């Protein structure tokens, strides 16, 4: 359906356009002659980073499980992707690449030229992307399905209930880098290619060997000769779990030219609290717990209230006051569900109490407050402190 110069001039005259005001090339736009499978096209709005990723030759992947909304992933970032309708028609076509806001043509009376351009796709919908934190609920399920308890406790050819990275990639709606980082953040370990959680009691056994070793050789917990320590521990437990515990619970340094480990006070105190609270699986008398806890850690270590952030909750409504294990790490990544659970446990929270349990939902307090605004109402207590309770 091509228009000629004569066709264009005729239309211009009827519209009373002075051709001299315009650049000599007129683009005559038309629909394609044949069905070019318009339904197979999609228009997607990206950001500069995603576009560069694709232009480098990489593949973006849209992932979605049956009950999830879809996400778009690069190798290291995840975005929500959703369809947006506009009331406008959008036509997409190759036009001359010269920007309209060019200088006026030097030639005062150039010949009119007609460029016939075919619209390749037209639509009133497109896809928008928004960066998001992935939901790792499925990852959490997978890594803790069969926690590692030592090679003697399982068949060497076990393959059920344990997962390799490619399995996580198939089931978790996130980018590969984010999946690997989450596994490491959750302290999962790669064993024979399978990423798994370590059973807490199994790990605790080895931590106690380590603490006992320190008192047996009667050295400060901040300077434990490394080689001797490893040698003694390897005699008691598998290398894998010993190395795992040393990695998490110690840091290395050189003291008088000898490589030494130092126990990390914060890590040991938090572990000890979890160990005591999980032993009976229920609620503890608060003051009894605090007494036991401060005695349970190596001499010289001081237990602090903030060691319990995101680990345990104190209930001042029971008589006597009680404390129970409640781990932020094990909570769902679904923000609405998470708030529902938190408010059902305790009706009123201060921001300081909430923060350890919601800090993964936002980059900073400002973003967390946005969430709170959606799901909670605030009230000022007689002592001036602000408390949050559920809106629903």
Partner 1 sequence: MVQIGIRLCSTDAKPPQWTLIELQGKLDSREGSPLLGQPIGDLYTDRITGALTLIVGHHILMGKEVKLKRPMILVKRCADAEKSTDLLDTEYTVKAVIYRKFIFEGRPRPIISNVPKKL
- Tell which positions 10-39 bind partner 1, by CB under 8 A: 11-12, 14-17, 20-23, 25-35, 37
| Binds partner 1 by CB under 8 A, chosen from 4, 5, 6, 65 | 65
The reply to whether 344 sits near partner 1 by the rule CB under 8 A is no
Binding residue (CB under 8 A) for partner 1 from 4, 5, 6, 62: 62
Contact indicator for 139, 49 with CB cutoff of 8 Å: no
* Smallest separation, CB 114 to partner 1 (Å): 8
Give the Cα-Cα-Cα angle 245, 284, 266 (nearest 5 degrees): 30
* DSSP bridge partners of 281: none
Q: How far apart are CA 136 and CA 187, in angstroms?
A: 14
Show the tokens assigned to 63.
């992932």
Shortest Å distance, C-beta 182 to partner 1: 17
Q: What angle do CA 349, 354, 359 make, to 5 degrees?
A: 160
Instruction: Return d(Cα 200, Cα 272) in angstroms, integer.
Output: 11
Distances (CA, A) of 341 to 1, 118, 244, 331, 390: 64, 56, 32, 9, 10
Interface residue with partner 1 among 4, 5, 6, 58 (CB under 8 A) is: 58
Is 160 a residue that touches partner 1 (CB under 8 A)? Answer: no
- Biggest distance spanned by C-alpha atoms of the chain: 102
Query: Which one, of 246, 241, 240, lies nearest residue 228 by Cα?
Result: 246
In angstroms, give the least distance from the CB of 209 to partner 1.
Answer: 41
Task: Rule CB under 8 A: choose which of 6, 42, 159, 350 binds partner 1.
Answer: 42
The residues, any chain, with a CB within 8 Å of residue 64's CB and separated by 6 or more, are 70, 71, 173
Interacting residue with partner 1 among 4, 6, 64, 216 (CB under 8 A): 64
Report how far residue 122's alpha carbon sits from residue 141's, in angstroms, rounded to the nearest whole number. Answer: 43
Which of 44-52, 228-236, 252-260, 335-343 is the region at the interface with partner 1 (rule: CB under 8 A)? 44-52
Q: Which of 173, 277, 323, 325 binds partner 1 (CB under 8 A)?
A: 173
Dihedral sign for Cα atoms in the order 155, 160, 164, 168: negative
Q: 116 to 155, contacts with partner 1 by CB under 8 A? A: 119-122, 124, 126
State the nearest-atom distance from the C-beta of 163 to partner 1, in Å: 14
CB of 7 to partner 1, least distance (A): 9
Cα separations in angstroms, 38 against 1, 41, 60, 117, 341: 19, 6, 22, 16, 47
Residue whose CB is less far from partner 1, 169 or 236: 169
The residue from 146, 149, 150, 171 that contacts partner 1 (CB under 8 A) is 171
- The only residue of 4, 69, 82, 92 in contact with partner 1, by rule CB under 8 A: 92
Q: Does 49 participate in binding partner 1 (rule CB under 8 A)?
A: no
Pick from 5, 75, 105, 222 the residue near partner 1 by CB under 8 A.
105
Contact positions with partner 1 (CB under 8 A) in 254-283: none
What is the closest distance, in whole angstroms, from the C-beta atom of residue 83 to partner 1 in the complex?
Answer: 14
End-to-end CA distance of the chain: 61
């Amino acid at each position: 359906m091509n228009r000629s110069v004569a066709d264009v001039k005729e239309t211009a005259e009827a519209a009373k356009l002075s051709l001299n005001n315009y650049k000599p090339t007129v683009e005559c736009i038309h629909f394609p002659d044949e069905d070019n499978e318009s339904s197979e096209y999609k228009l997607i709005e990206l950001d500069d980073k995603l576009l560069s990723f694709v232009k480098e030759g990489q593949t973006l992947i849209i992932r979605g499980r049956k009950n999830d909304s879809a996400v778009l992933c690069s190798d290291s970032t995840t975005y929500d992707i959703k369809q947006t309708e506009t009331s406008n028609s959008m036509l997409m076509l190759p036009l001359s690449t010269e920007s309209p806001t060019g200088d006026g043509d030097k030639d005062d009376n150039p010949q009119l030229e007609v460029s016939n351009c075919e619209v390749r796709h037209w639509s009133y919908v497109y896809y928008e992307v928004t960066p998001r934190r992935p939901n790792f609920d499925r990852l959490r399920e997978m890594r803790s399905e069969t926690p590692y308890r030592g090679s003697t406790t399982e068949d060497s050819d076990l393959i059920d209930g344990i997962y390799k990275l490619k399995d996580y990639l198939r089931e978790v709606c996130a980018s590969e880098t984010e999946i690997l980082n989450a596994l490491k953040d959750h302290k999962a370990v790669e064993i024979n290619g399978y990423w798994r959680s370590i059973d807490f009691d199994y790990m605790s056994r080895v931590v106690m060997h380590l603490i006992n070793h320190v008192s047996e050789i009667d050295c400060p917990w901040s300077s434990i000769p490394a080689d001797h320590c490893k040698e003694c521990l390897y005699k008691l437990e598998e290398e894998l779990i010993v190395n795992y515990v040393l990695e998490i619970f110690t840091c290395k340094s050189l003291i008088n030219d000898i490589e030494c480990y130092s126990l990390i006070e914060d890590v040991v105190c938090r572990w000890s609290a979890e160990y005591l609270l999980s032993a009976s699986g229920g609620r503890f008398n608060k003051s009894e717990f605090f007494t036991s806890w401060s005695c349970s850690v190596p001499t010289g270590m001081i237990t602090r209230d903030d060691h319990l952030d995101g680990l345990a909750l104190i209930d001042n409504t029971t008589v006597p006051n009680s404390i129970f294990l409640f781990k932020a790490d094990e909570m769902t990544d679904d923000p609405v569900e998470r708030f529902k659970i938190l408010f059902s446990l305790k009706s009123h929270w201060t921001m300081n109490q909430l923060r350890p349990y919601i800090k993964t939902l936002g980059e900073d307090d400002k973003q967390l407050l946005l969430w709170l605004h959606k799901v909670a109402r605030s009230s000022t207590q007689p002592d001036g402190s602000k408390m949050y309770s559920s809106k629903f």
